Amino acid sequence: MNKETNEIMLDLLIKKATYGLDVNEEKQLAELEQQDGVDESLSFELTAASIGMIGINNREEMPAALRKKIAATAQKHFASQQPAAITSRAGILVADKATGGSWFGWLGWGLAAAACLALAFNLFNTPTQRDVVQNPVATPTPEERLTPAQQRLRLIDTASDLARATWGPGKMSNVSPSGDVVWSDAKQAGYMRLSGLPKNDPTKETYQLWIVAENQDAKTPVDGGTFDISSDGEVIIPIDAKVKAVNPQAFAITIEKPGGVPVSKQEKVPALAKRET
């Protein structure tokens, strides 16, 4: 095989090992291999495999016995081969075929041995599937976000001890509230549905809920939290009981100073609600 043919075959083998050949190139390579009498493509494919495994991070050192066995096998193989004389011509390595076979095959088998060594390291140190899934990370469940109206409906659907009360006028003749209260002792949760309360200025005053409960003196009812009315129409407001409220019998809304008060004088009471039997 002359120098020009040799270079063409080298180009085809490199392309086959890296990118692949089209139909015409495969045919051309097959003809050149028949002329040379050696299937060089296998050597280049193994060479490409060894190059692809360069940079593998090993976690553990290969056992000495396995390393010794691979080295002995490689040494035995190369001892039985007659190396080709390799010279450099115009920056290209060229083998003297008369001195011992194709240099393509010799180089390919050398790198193939390196590939086997790298592959052995990789197989020995790669974690098994069992190791990978030993401590799986649980997928977090998306947090469900409900509006106050949806939360109120859920309480109505799920609470077996639901108490109800209907809003009516309190001690302010110019205010006509409507709506209701739902409450669950077991869940210690409840909601106010309100219409008809005037909008308030939070810098000057706030609304405050009071719960007349069985476990609390009527003169000092349970503080159910403060709230503001900033729009017309119906509003749904969660009850924020500061202490446990047991078996509530009535609810009252007062108007207090910003931030609320610990005990109300009940001077302004726009709404009252009595528990339904």
Please spell the DSSP secondary structure of the chain, one letter per residue: --HHHHHHHHHHHHHHHHT---HHHHHHHHHHHHHHTS--HHHHHHHHHHHHTTTPPPSSPPPHHHHHHHHHHHHHHHHTS-PPEEEEETTEEEEEGGGTS-HHHHHHHHHHHHHHHHHHHHHHHSPPHHHHTSSPPPPPPPPP---HHHHHHHHHHH-TTEEEEEEEE-S-TT---EEEEEEETTTTEEEEEEESPPP--TTT-EEEEEEE-TTS-TTSPEEEEEE---SSS-EEEE---SS---S--EEEEEEESTT--SS---S---EEEEE--
Distance CA 124, CA 10 (A): 34
pLDDT for the residue numbered 72:
72
pLDDT for the residue numbered 44:
55
Alpha-carbon Rg for the chain, nearest whole angstrom, is: 44
Tell me which residues of the chain have a pLDDT lower than 70. Answer: 1-3, 17-18, 36-62, 66-67, 69-71, 73-136
The predicted model scores a pTM of 0.51
pLDDT for the residue numbered 88:
45
